[in-house]
Structure 1
Amino acid sequence: MTVIAVPGSKSVTARALFLAAAAEGVTTLRRPLVSDDTEGFAEALTVLGYAVERAPEEWRITGRPQGPASASAEVYARDAATAARFLPALAAAGHGDFRFDASAQMRRRPVAPLTEALRTLGVDLAYEGESGHLPLRIAASGIDGGEIELDASLSSQFLTALLLAAPLTAEGLRIRVTGIVSVPYVEITLAMMRAFGVEVVREGDTFVVPSATYQARDYPIEPDASTASYVFAAAALSGRTATVPGLGSGALQGDLAFVDVLRRMGAEVETTADATTVTGTGRLSGVTVNMRDISDTMPTLAAIAPFADGPVRIEDVYNTRVKECDRLDACAQNLRAQGIRVETGRDWIEIHPGTPKPVEIACHADHRIAMSFSVAALRTPGTTLDDPGCVKKTFPGFHGFFADLRRTWDV
């Protein structure tokens, strides 16, 4: 058995940074993820006027429930969707003039469901380029609150942004949601809001959030379950055993359910209160699986799917087409380049068994494509990546980490 320490969760770190900035007092985040996305989020908070102190194992944030200290700011979100989507809601609840921009990749990704909801709530904002996309300007004068309807079919991040900002409004919010995806990420948000002192009530498809003040706290960041999917997939693929501590039965992140997919395919899985272990059994069975709620792990499964003994069909993952790249097409393109038969539809992909050829993987500047096909390369020596550096978004040390794992397992 190999015990493997996985870096902190990107999703939890981003939410914790928002909550700490909005809270009364000084919050300490223990073992936050240090990556391009999270550092970009922290730097954006600094630009907005929040005090952020970063040490290797802990970050300290002095909160301002009244909103950003800066009267005006130019915020650059890099490639980070969490920063690009969460921070406009935080700034809108304060007072000042704020401009938000991001990388060319992030500019292509939508923000309209959030920004149009903010407009409905009376927020004065304007797009500087394509409607519904960054860059945008916000003339913030606080948010009264009230009732809002939100289409969350493209990303749960739009709902999370409104939920996180809702206690900062004068009256609170009632958010009626349609078409929600990635529900476990919303559950992370609700649990973390509760940890910082605000309870959200769900009434069917409506979330009711009071006007309230978050309270600072000492908050440990659990390991990233999406990153752990690469470790678990590698164990299942190579017939080894891997244990990830810190991701047990009480974990916040829904992506830990990826191990249930591996179990259905033939791997042995054990989950205790504080760890999860996956053991490869030497076989992987074909499977049909709905990955709507764990869509960030879709590329992980797609990359290893050719090694199953039957077709692997992944369904209900349209939202992966509007991530860092169109992940359905990116996976299909790379698998076909490897000589694997693949079919795709609007929201599904089906991958047939085969022996992948070593090729240069087209990463499309997407960290998850790079890391997923690196796992599959355990069985396809000679595989290379056209953009290995794109992993810096969530796991800058991935290649060294994975090389160490291969040496430990002698694969």
Structure 2
Amino acid sequence: MINFLEKSTTLKFPINIQISGSKSESNRALILDYVLGGINIHNLSDSDDTKHLINALKQLDSESKTIKIDVGHAGTTMRFLTALCATMHQQEFVISGSKRMHQRPIKPLVDALKNLGADISYLDHEGYPPLKIRGKNLTKNKLSIQANISSQYISALMLIAPKFPQGLSIKLKGNITSRPYLEMTKALLEQQKIRVDFNQSEICVHSSHLNATTSIEIESDWSSASYHYALVALSVEGFSVKLTNFKLNSVQGDAALRSIYKKFGVKTEQVDPKTIKLTKFSKLYSDINIDLIKTPDLAQTIAVTCLGLGIKCELRGLHTLKIKETDRLKALKTELQKLGALVEISDSTLKLQPNKKLISHQIIETYNDHRMALAFAPLALKTILKIENPDVVSKSYPHFWEDLNNYGITSHFAK
């Protein structure tokens, strides 16, 4: 646990922050490199999730009869590896993870792969990991999948598509969730000269020569940048921070932060080709009503920002939050209420009415969810609080607590 976080009385700015590569982009690039071979990847994420994937990919060429892989809490790794291993002829795999990972559904992806001819079985509960996979040469090239559950299932299929001699056609049923992540996958495939056709109801990844054609420069992580947007929003007028290796025309969906946080008085500008600057200007915000179906990972940060600024919010499009590292809607409601907020949730919405004054000296539970710790920490600019299980941030942003010190927020780990 971190001892009470609190703000110091002096603070120098502008602050300069270097965040590592996007976890989402890194993990896609690593799978593509394994499929195509020979891609030079620069600025990889230093997150636990990416490390899990790197270690797992090293195991795939083992000569063991059955290759056993433990992905821990890394949901992206679980989904991407499930698809990849299903295509590895005459190899057998057992893929498992943490207790929470075994509660996160994977049936839509498994069903889609089985429709292509994959041999996958459940080792415990139907529809959930752990999985046993006997790799095969998959020859069918058409399937259908629900598009409103998790974009990671669809990205997993897109990333293995270059292995199919006739390409892969993915029929999308229902409204697309987190479309920017599919656009990111498409962009990375196209960097490797693989043609991708994408409309509202279908994705077609065309056949490939299976040779990498270029290196990949991973942009820094906009999801991690969200916590700096929150910190700037909760700071004093004129405060600024520079974030390195970001560009405004990013393929990452969470780059929507620049327009969302303008509502909270944060201006974003590109000060050189690889650096953006966030600056707090005079208050422009009022009640917030946002549909986050394209960027649900921002929900926790936005809700906490609204609480810190004392404004109402209604966040919609959050139905995927129930199957994340924890049920994020329930977790948010519990922790926001500790600080004095009135919160209502449904299966896909969160409504927040802030208290006039934050209740201080509260212990924020993190539920083994990195985004709970990361999202609530900026409130230290407004009140004193503790963060339980602070090491959980290593899943996506290992150096967060060191970076937080730059804001004059003291954090000491309790023994």
User: Which residue of structure 2 lines up, in the alignment, with residue 340 of structure 1?
Assistant: 341
1:47 partner letter: Q
On the 8 A contact 2:241/2:277 being kept in 1, the answer is yes
Cα distance, 1:177–1:3 mapped onto 2, change above 3 Å: same
Cα distance, 1:406–1:196 mapped onto 2, change above 3 Å: farther
Q: Is 1:257 matched with 2:239?
A: no
On the 8 A contact 1:325/1:364 being kept in 2, the answer is yes
Distance 2:211 2:196 in 1: 12
3-state DSSP class of the match of 1:32? coil
Cα distance, 1:172–1:312 mapped onto 2, change above 3 Å: same
User: Which residue of structure 2 lines up, in the alignment, with residue 218 of structure 1?
Assistant: 215
On the 8 A contact 2:340/2:354 being kept in 1, the answer is no
Distance 1:77 1:375 in 2: 29
Which range is displaced more, 226-235 or 193-202? 193-202
RMSD: 1.8
2:102 partner letter: R
1:311 partner letter: K
Q: Is 1:317 matched with 2:329?
A: no
On the 8 A contact 2:233/2:264 being kept in 1, the answer is no
User: Which residue of structure 1 lines up, in the alignment, with residue 305 of structure 2?
Assistant: 304
User: Which residue of structure 2 lines up, in the alignment, with residue 127 of structure 1?
Assistant: 122
Identity percentage over the alignment? 29
Please give the residue correspondences for 1:218-257 in structure 2 after superposition, counting only pairs within 5 Å: 218-239=215-236, 240-257=239-256
Greater RCO, 1 or 2 (C-alpha within 8 Å, sep 6+): 2
3-state DSSP class of the match of 1:285? coil
Cα distance, 1:352–1:362 mapped onto 2, change above 3 Å: same
Question: How far does the alpha carbon of each residue in 1:150-192 deviate from its partner, in whole angstroms, 9 at most, with x for none?
Answer: 1132210000000011111232211011232111011110000
How far 1:13 moved relative to its partner? 0.7
Question: How far does the alpha carbon of each residue in 1:300-320 deviate from its partner, in whole angstroms, 9 at most, with x for none?
Answer: 011121233531111111111
How far 1:14 moved relative to its partner? 0.4
The counterpart of 2:401, out of the listed 386, 399, 411, is 399
Distance 2:165 2:199 in 1: 21
The counterpart of 1:191, out of the listed 187, 190, 207, is 187
Runs of 4+ residues deviating >6 angstroms:
none
Which range is displaced more, 304-313 or 276-285? 276-285
User: Which residue of structure 1 lines up, in the alignment, with residue 276 of structure 2?
Assistant: 276
How far 1:238 moved relative to its partner? 0.6
Distance 2:306 2:317 in 1: 17
How far 1:71 moved relative to its partner? 6.0
3-state DSSP class of the match of 2:40? strand
Normalising by structure 2, what TM-score? 0.89
How far 1:396 moved relative to its partner? 1.6
1:14 partner letter: N
3-state DSSP class of the match of 1:377? helix
Question: How far does the alpha carbon of each residue in 1:341-394 deviate from its partner, in whole angstroms, 9 at most, with x for none?
Answer: 11212211111232221200010110000010001222112x111211111111
Unaligned runs of 5+ in 1: 51-68
Distance 1:282 1:307 in 2: 16
Normalising by structure 1, what TM-score? 0.90
Please give the residue correspondences for 1:382-397 in structure 2 after superposition, counting only pairs within 5 Å: 383-397=385-399
Q: Is 1:92 matched with 2:86?
A: yes
On the 8 A contact 1:269/1:278 being kept in 2, the answer is yes
3-state DSSP class of the match of 1:360? strand
Unaligned runs of 5+ in 2: 1-13, 411-415
How far 1:216 moved relative to its partner? 5.4
Question: How far does the alpha carbon of each residue in 1:17-63 deviate from its partner, in whole angstroms, 9 at most, with x for none?
Answer: 10111113x2222121112111110000011028xxxxxxxxxxxxx
Which range is displaced more, 262-271 or 174-183? 262-271
Question: How far does the alpha carbon of each residue in 1:250-281 deviate from its partner, in whole angstroms, 9 at most, with x for none?
Answer: 31211010221111233323246543332223
User: Which residue of structure 2 lines up, in the alignment, with residue 58 of structure 1?
Assistant: none
Q: Is 1:75 matched with 2:69?
A: yes
Distance 1:281 1:196 in 2: 41
